[in-house]
Amino acid sequence: MSELIKIFDTTLRDGEQSPGATMNIAEKVRIAEQLEKLNVDIIEAGFPISSEGDFEAVRAISKTIKHSEVAALARANPKDIDQAWGAVKGAKFPRLHTFISTSDIHLKHQLKKSKEEVIQIAARSVARAKRYTSNVEFSAMDATRSDVEFLSAVYEAAIRAGATTINLPDTVGYAIPSEFGDLVRTLRQKVRGIEKVTLSVHCHDDLGLAVANSLIAVQNGAKQVECAINGIGERAGNTSLEEVVMAIRTRSDLLRYHTRIIPRHLFATSRLISKITGMAVQPNKAVVGANAFAHQSGIHQDGILKEKLTYEIMTPDSVGIPKTSIVLGKLSGRHAFRERVKELGYRLSEADLGLAFRRFKQLADKKRDIFDEDIESIVVEEILRMPRRFKLVYINVVAGNVTVPTATVQMEIGGQLLQEAGFGDGPVDATFKTIKKITRTKSKLLQFAINAITSGTEAQGEVTVKLEEKGQTVIGQGADTDVIVASAKAYINALNKMEFRKQKLVGM
């Protein structure tokens, strides 16, 4: 029987202390709702004394959340505790979380208090919080640089005063896993009454060891882990929630524990936090990074295509990522290339596949990023030699600041000459609308870009357009010294690709 490990999320409190990660009240409520959907046990909503905005945010979250506990942080003084309770008292399951420093460094340089005074303050603060709620957490800030005997005395005083959770913070990310595990085990042996409360840990990532320290703490008796989505937080950040949760889930053979987190919501939660805070998730971030389930090595790709367990210890869908990503590049093999061609809807003979693969390798040596459109261009234009149903004969455009942009276009379609004129918001818009009228197509323009491929005022312009129709997307390109003509060529090139794609899909 595995033991439950509570997940205490501090994204909205410690996470917001990341430089640039400030959130407004509506954003905080939205994140809190997502954390509750993720099934977080405790949401630390904020530090109410820090500002009026934080007070209001905690109060709004407290009124919104129905299943998770909502915690408010307070320093160990009456004003902070009273303010915190004022903000969190509307929660269905409120928690007060109070703290004070215990290391000699903090006592001497920051608090300027004696050890005896700190013990008394800790006890009084917990007792005051206990008047408001039975759910009180106490933290000894900078615990890992504190004297163990003194730390034990502070925790005992907090427990006697009524604390129901005792938190051990590695505030500055100083601890090494073996050392931190020993500290957790020592405190469980030394602190009287600790068996009656929940022992929690809060680790920072200054040395990149927050997750490792949290896991070894769990193995030595901690029953609550304090963490944040994407590991955001003060300085180098906090323990990453998604990493701890998936480590426990993936290595259940060694870690006989479980959490209440619903993993399939991890990716969506990660993306929400990234979007709201503006803090991008690094591509190689464990569990939720863009490359977490991406494979570029030909050997890895071959293994994944044969059996995903060869190179994936968890499935992408288990954390809410749609699928494994096979990234094609110069290291990719023939197996991965063949599968991507099939996914794009094309069936090639072995001879044609060999030609296409060689051309792909040549392109990959010159181009860092290979997109599906690049592969499709190789297959369609160089191997299958796509027939061009739509051909541009001529185009004439009238535009200016005192005239309505008008395009007259003549095209050949299936051997028949057709001509139309049309208006638009600009010369390119008029051109595209007229082409759509002639071809009677319904593709939607998703992207339009112009680049100069030569220098000077007579530069040749290259236009790229992306079209979408019924879930199918294609890219068309055209070049000309006249960017309007280049635009028409690109649009017609994309329409021809779309027509060819339709024919291939019908024939499958």
* 7 phi, psi to nearest 5 deg: -110, 115
329 vs 161, which has greater pLDDT? 161
Confidence of residue 303 (pLDDT cuts 50, 70, 90): confident
Per mean pLDDT, which range of 108-117, 175-184, 280-289 is the poorest? 280-289
Reduced 3-state DSSP string for 145-187: HCCHHHHHHHHHHHHHHCCCEEEEEECCCCCCHHHHHHHHHHH
Residue range 448-471: average pLDDT? 75
At 422 the pLDDT is 94
- CA-to-CA distance for 181 and 183, rounded, in angstroms? 5
Q: Residue 12: enclosing H or E segment and its boundaries?
A: none
At 39 the pLDDT is 97
Of 102-111, 163-172, 490-499, highest mean pLDDT: 163-172
Of 111-115, 242-246, 319-323, highest mean pLDDT: 242-246
At 506 the pLDDT is 46
Of the chain, the percentage scoring pLDDT greater than 90 comes to 62
Residue 159 has pLDDT above 60, yes or no: yes
Reduced 3-state DSSP string for 392-406: EEEEEEEEECCEEEE
The shares of helix, strand and coil residues in the chain, as percent rounded to the nearest 5, are 45, 25, 30
Residue 456 has pLDDT above 60, yes or no: no
Residue range 150-163: average pLDDT? 98
Confidence of residue 459 (pLDDT cuts 50, 70, 90): low
Confidence of residue 324 (pLDDT cuts 50, 70, 90): low
The amino acid that residue 349 corresponds to is S
- CA-to-CA distance for 120 and 399, rounded, in angstroms? 82
CATH fourth-level superfamily of 390-507: Alpha-isopropylmalate synthase LeuA, regulatory domain (3.30.160.270)
Q: What is the mean pLDDT of the chain?
A: 89
Residue 453 has pLDDT above 70, yes or no: no
Residue range 458-468: average pLDDT? 79
- CA-to-CA distance for 78 and 288, rounded, in angstroms? 41
Reduced 3-state DSSP string for 42-102: EEEEECHHHCHHHHHHHHHHHHHCCCCEEEEEEECCHHHHHHHHHHHCCCCCEEEEEEEEC
Confidence of residue 47 (pLDDT cuts 50, 70, 90): very high
Of 284-293, 446-455, 456-465, highest mean pLDDT: 284-293
Residues in CB range of 500: below 8 A, 6 or more apart: 380, 384, 386, 387
Residue range 310-339: average pLDDT? 76
DSSP state of 207: T
Residue spans of the domains in the chain: they are 3-277, 294-383, 390-507
Buried b (16+ CB within 10 A) or exposed e, 31-55: bbbbbbebebbbbbbbbbbbeeebb
* 193 phi, psi to nearest 5 deg: 90, -5
At 331 the pLDDT is 78
At 507 the pLDDT is 43
Per mean pLDDT, which range of 39-53, 246-260, 290-304 is the poorest? 290-304
At 443 the pLDDT is 92
* 228 phi, psi to nearest 5 deg: -140, 150
Fold for the domain defined by 3-277? TIM Barrel (3.20.20)
At 337 the pLDDT is 83
Confidence of residue 76 (pLDDT cuts 50, 70, 90): very high
- CA-to-CA distance for 469 and 476, rounded, in angstroms? 14
Residue 158 has pLDDT above 60, yes or no: yes
Of the chain, the percentage scoring pLDDT greater than 70 comes to 90
Confidence of residue 176 (pLDDT cuts 50, 70, 90): very high
Confidence of residue 323 (pLDDT cuts 50, 70, 90): low
Q: Do domains 3-277 and 390-507 have the same CATH topology?
A: no
Residue range 37-51: average pLDDT? 96
* 465: β partners: 448, 476
At 454 the pLDDT is 52
DSSP state of 228: B
- CA-to-CA distance for 57 and 27, rounded, in angstroms? 9
- Check if the beta carbon of residue 82 is closer than 8 Å to that of residue 49: no
At 508 the pLDDT is 40
Per mean pLDDT, which range of 71-75, 89-93, 113-117, 370-374 is the poorest? 370-374
At 319 the pLDDT is 85
